[in-house]
Structure 1
Amino acid sequence: MHSAEPMAGARSLTDLFARSAGLRPQAPALTGNGRDITYAELDRASDDIAALLVDAGVGRGDLVGVLLERSHRMPGWIIGILKAGAAYVPLDPTYPRDRLHYMVADAQVKILIGDPGQAAVCGLDGVRVVDPAAPAPAATPVGTPDPQDPAYVIYTSGSTGRPKGCVVTHANVLALLDAMLPLFDFGPRDRWSLFHSFSFDFSVWELWGPLATGGTAVVVPAAAARATEDFLRLLATEGVTVLNQVPSVFRFLAREYADSGAPDLALRHVIFGGENVDLDVVRAFTEAAGERAPTFVNMYGVTETTVFTTGRTLTPEDLAGSVRSPIGVPLPHLTVELRDDALEVVADGEVGEMWVAGTGVTAGYLHRPDLTADRFRTSGGRRWYRTGDLARRLPDGALEYLGRNDQQVKIRGHRVELAEVEEALRADAAVHDAAAAVTRDPDGNPLLVALVVAAGDDAFSVTALRRHARATVPAQLVPNRFLRVDALPLTPSGKLDRRAVQELADAASAPRPATAGPRTRVLVVDPLHESALAELHRTYDVHVELRPSADRLLRLVEDTEVIVVRSGVRIGADVIRAAPRLKVVARAGSGVDNIDLDAAEAAGVTVFNVPGVSAPAVAELALGLMLAAARHIVLADRQVRAGTWNKAALAGAELGGKTLGLVGVGRIGSRLARLALGVGMRVVATVDRDTPQRRAELADQGIEPTSRERLLATADVVCLAVPLTDRTHHLIDDGALRAMKRSALLVNVSRGPVVDEEALYRALTDGEIAGAALDVVAEEGNPGRLAGLDNVVITPHIGAMSADSQERIGRILLDSLREALAGRKVATACR
């Protein structure tokens, strides 16, 4: 099959897919969740989605929301929406609820496709939800979309403080493919990484590139995308030949590749997009790979011109040259002119704003005629898009990218308007004013820094402000660092002095010079996210010794001022007595049962915990363990150990209608109850304080209080989410296991020996219960005989959280530590 064969005469993306499916029905179109999905299977699955949507009243030109975490099911949903004549609006479930509400309202989305439970969790239960797992009605014929019909609407950061939706047509995407594909030798044997969120238009190229050439899209699970070691392993095992990457993400992959000894990869092409390429990183990767090095291509583009605008294959001369960001020449279907402030074309070698014309220029902004008119201009009889990006034309005709002419920046490939960041911060009552800038850390990674003027004289809480930002804007718009200033710098005319803001941000991010006095000594005894650990090293005198023995710990703390701990090491009275200089115990987890709070208080030691981030992550993991164990325990073992379990992929587990018995209704238990109710389970729970008020609180959450005896006898899944105390030691013993149903599953996300593991082993081998899914075991890292059973899933506690959750925990811990060492009250202090 020639790479351009399905493209010939295709009038829409659905037409293009039909041609590819007809040419290679039994070839793998996708691979994900441990299996291949053929073109024929993808065709049938998308037909079912289209039938569901048409039956729900979706018609040509409608906008359908897509609410789904990254999985192998997403492509079928998208193609099904297009087959129904509609366009899709990606709704990332990790976005704050307010932002999702705004996008749904702005796009006037009446129907979304996704998991009803997830929609409820995201607060979108006011929109009609089509469950793709529902039986499909008889197919209703739908006409082929017109080339000028919208295919998708992607929301990007807005300079007014609100995101804006860009409307992209079938013709726009077909023009991109028709221009790009002949420039490469892509074919049916190529396996493309489908790495990026569908809310980022890089995913459009990653999906339709392989589908247009008969290749295979390798769906990268979200957990693997965030864990570089796992991602490198996936590239090798899946034989990925076409890798699409944002340069700042590739930087981590390149480092892992070098640290792993440059393992054999099948890569033929690495295509960059989204932000400036790091030529030094590419050069190092090329040198490490030697003759096996792939071809590196640097692409420039924006959503408004359909993913890509220009491109350049990087040569050895480029890697060694002085041009910092070579972006090449326009793609065949586009024209780029460089214009000055008077809108006149500049001479070669001079700097100008990039204006783009051609068939990739999109329809404009949804319901924003004023903004569309401002950015999309007609000049010389052609329709142009003003990018706001600056470039100059080099002697060979190629372009060099030089940055922005406004306050828009790129963070990990995502477009970020500094004005939107600032507007979100000003909405906090504790903030009088704010300004933002992007700088880089010593490793070259972009950092978003916020300068904040407090609204009052009270202590400035970075933790509270970060919490407010996370509840208001997507993760890429949340500042990495906050710097309190008395006033924002102004120009003589009274306007914000952006240059001075940038200088202050750069200074705040610069490595701190060594001081004459000793630095605070910090002991880290449990695993911590690498970014937080690096920040600790830059600021303090840090010693890392994971899980030291009790005797060794007593020696280590003799001159320690801060202990950073999770759940693996106990900080008892003996440890606190052995540390006369100890000021702070920083706990990152969901409880403090491993810390003697009375001894710490008596010694004047501040103890704080970071529970709010980890609890949702552990609850999500618990649901994943339940779904996985109920569906296929052996498959679950592989998925959960690798951090690749997927709720949607395991939704056929028949948990709907079953009873979840919760032993413990704290932060984790309450969150898990919401998730379980969302998949149609009945939830019962034991009650510590059996009062009318407590019963009413549980009833409001949809939880039925019951006795422990009745819970064990009736629950299909018994989940433990209790702290480790004397009362909960061996809470589930031989008698409790005998009281459970023979078909029941036991799920444990508690710490330490809450379960009598010898009794559990006997119950599992004798068939007294069906299986167990253990987030932890009594002795972490040593599961003993349980690990050899086919009906058991075991995953290490903190290690199973997403990398994103671990990074957030690390950031909050750092903010809280600075507050505590400064003598200020920490929001999460335990006493």
Structure 2
Amino acid sequence: MTRVLPPPVTAGLTAVQEGIWFTARATDTASAYHLVVTLTADGPLDDDALDLAWRAVTDAHPALRGAFPEVDGVGARVEVTPGPVRRASVTADRLADALTDEAGRPFDLSAGPLARCAALRVDDGREVIVVTAHHLVGDGHTKELIVRDLTAAYAGEALPVTPAGAVDAAIADDHARVDAALPAAREFWRGRWREPPAVALPGGSRPGGGVATARTRHVAVDPALDRALDAASATLGTSRFELLLAAVSVLLTRYGTPDVTIAVDVSTRTGDVEGQAGAWVNELPIRFAPDLAASWPDTLAALRADLREAYAHRVVPVGRAATVGTRAALAPVSVSYRRRGQGPAAAFDDRATTVDWLVTPPHLRSSLHVFAVDGPDGLRLSLQAPADSVDDATLARVGAHLRDVLAAAAAADLPVGDAPTLTPAERALLDRVNATARPLPADTVIDRFTDQVRRAPDAPALRFGARVLTYAELDRLANRVAHGLLRRGTRPGDLIGLCARRGDELVVAVLGILKAGAAYLPLDPAYPVARLDFVVADAHAHLTLAHHGGPLPEPAVVPLDGLAAFDGEPETPPPPPPADALAYVIYTSGSTGRPKGVEVGHRALANLVAAMDRVTPTAPGDRWITLTSLSFDISALELFAPLTTGATLVIADDVTVRQGSALAALVDDAAVTHLQATPSTWRMLLDAGLTAPRLTALCGGEALPLPLARRLREATGRLVNVYGPTETTIWSTWAEIGTDPTRVPIGAPLANTTVHVRDARLRPVAVGVPGELLIGGAGLAYGYRGRPELTRRRFVTDPITSARLYRTGDLVRLDADGMLDFVGRLDSQVKVRGHRIELGEVETVLGAVPGVREAAVAVHGDGADAHLVAYLVGDAVHLPDVRRHLGQQLPRHMVPAAYVALGSLPLTPNGKLDRKALAPPAAEPARHHDAPPVAPPHHPDPGGAGPGDVEHEVLAVWREVLRVDDIQVDDSLFDLGGHSLTITQITSRLRRRLGVAVAFDVFFDTPTVSGIAAEVRKLREAT
């Protein structure tokens, strides 16, 4: 049979096709724009009949014969000859791979054809027909037309053929409708469109904008749920699609996406093209932030209202009405929903035939794609996510969560935020993680110290320089201090200030205060006098012990020098403090600027010391070094871990703790076995050449970067990462860091400690989803001294278990292995030009760049001028590499606008990052400025053009393409009506006239004549 096709013609593209064509040119979309459907027959088909049927389908639908070469910077449609049916034989166990290969085979957009048919003969007797089309020539409805017409033509039925010229007429009509609707669409999206935030999924946020290899998971919807959705749809007066979209929005909000934006497909077909194949569909970004306290009926009503408003602008691609940027996906999440007909199923003659509408290509454009088909067999769901960031188990959990939220939507009897998002396996994991109950210590750290005095009175308890005190000597000195305090009127529960230099007298004073039944109040001599005065007054300290020459006025204190003030006091031990007595009060920074005192009891301290002894056992002969200021609560572990186990406490003096080489020498000279420090101190030690293969290293106080963890693990015998706020007594979780680590979790809870990851309403979040960490158990402080309202606000009652919990304000996620990962601080979440950004996430990515040892990020500027600035410490850091790495890992709005090289990061006295001390860079990022208009030259000379000539050339091209005369060099392309197709026309003309190829991205970063001219000059200089 001779096949006669109309002669090739050149025609335009619809507005939607122009956007797809531009995106496919600007980015590597791989197979993400492929549409796939399979028909599986239970026996072999007739080859000739199938060939004729495929030809009949492509003859009937001109769109399937299209290809789209570039002509003068724009895409043009030409008709090409469709390819024949491709045949292959496969085994049943290789069928899935063969389907993936067929769906992923690339198309040549310029040469075509862009629709193909393959017949796969399976060795079990089946034959699978795979039809794949590029989105430029088809949409979801096109798949239905192809299935209908292919099976009809196979049966010998004649197909109606689209009349000649119908495609051109439909395209012209499309442009007319878009032009008429464009002003209203621009006004609408001007107030609605903004760059969507990255979507939060279990395991972390996923940057959008790129194409990734897809992982696919089908979600089973049982008949009972399907019937419930039908009933809910009728009762609530909503469609099943709206129920699905609401469920996806609620789930993503529960996952922590602050402002959910979902791209949904909407048809732009009119009656004239109802029966034609083609890309008659548009994507609309639906930005919806459900109120988690609202009911399902109210949530659905609000969503429906948003949808109706957006639908009014369905014919205009958003890229025409707003500045969207070069991106494969309009939003990080997309939902495709198709309702299939209720008529007879498609079949090849008498062959039983199964149609699979849920087949997806091996690549996706978004971070999460929800594909739903609603048909005679009920609702079928499929999820896709990037395979390199979401494993199969995680995607399965997402599917289970979505199914549970759908069930909650169908029931509509609870607020949307109460929809369950934990699978039985996740609940079991939480139970296992918090199975930490152990016998609570009945004694105090003083009781345990006294036990060591009795067991080995002559064993070395303390070493400071050349001075060594035995347990018996240390005990006698502490008893003198205790009796001296009691003689001065100290009563149980009193607070004693301690402002002392590092040394043996400080340790004696701490023990003496506790032996007297009082609690110690650290007063760091390095702190400003005003702060110390405030702390003493606010805490109502009974009296203060201090060295001469300190910051406090000497008449107000008891001198500590030489312990002479306690000479002659009894050396017998006073009665020990009760287990529920107060042990210490440490003042921490307050968010309002007013420091707050955390009251920690003896029981909590004793439990912490016992729990850490299980993690890092200490025994006689071991040596702990203390180098932390007493006003930093982790110092208590450095004091009592050795003194309650018979080990030796090695004290580093005030000079040594600040010098890496001296401190490393002390570690080696004293044969230290246990050392606890912040990451900053560990970095100082490693830079000084520390090598201690017998050392147990504890790191805490702030996040431990992975590169530092690897260095530290290589230099020491054991590395334990610890985490905990002052309010839960020093450390609450721990993680063993193995050799060559790939992550640094904060770990699992210590003995008698529970951890809970919750949302803003204190509801549990799913495994892998960021949430606020709440801590319970024996380590909880009594509260904030003299601040009952603040205590009630931060120490809350668990709405689920009624237990007392502390709200840490830290964002964490619980991984499937039962380990917690630190994400950042709730109060370090910032908002930059409408985007919520977690600074800790940006810092983590920066820390993984080769050459970067330390990184911090701060926000400078206000309002529209707000921008991120990165501060980097490292050797031979190559800024382009940094930008490239960030661009691959983070959304554009999270990439810093400026970078500052530092020798070291500023630290607080406790060794933590002092973010407030990160000063703005000397030169701020360039901002928009006014400039006079520039007239184009009459006879440009591209070969020898200077800076002004380049600007004139660019301006001439803009005026030519935009057909606007009054253009200034700093006018925005998009304010002038430019869009993606305009960019391709401008780049094409610039390539011909100036000999350079300007990347599409540049137009979105600097969409002005001056900005493009600067890029042209840079490109020409590079060549």
Q: TM-score, normalised by structure 1?
A: 0.48
Decide which structure has the larger Cα Rg and report it.
2
TM-score, normalised relative to structure 2: 0.40
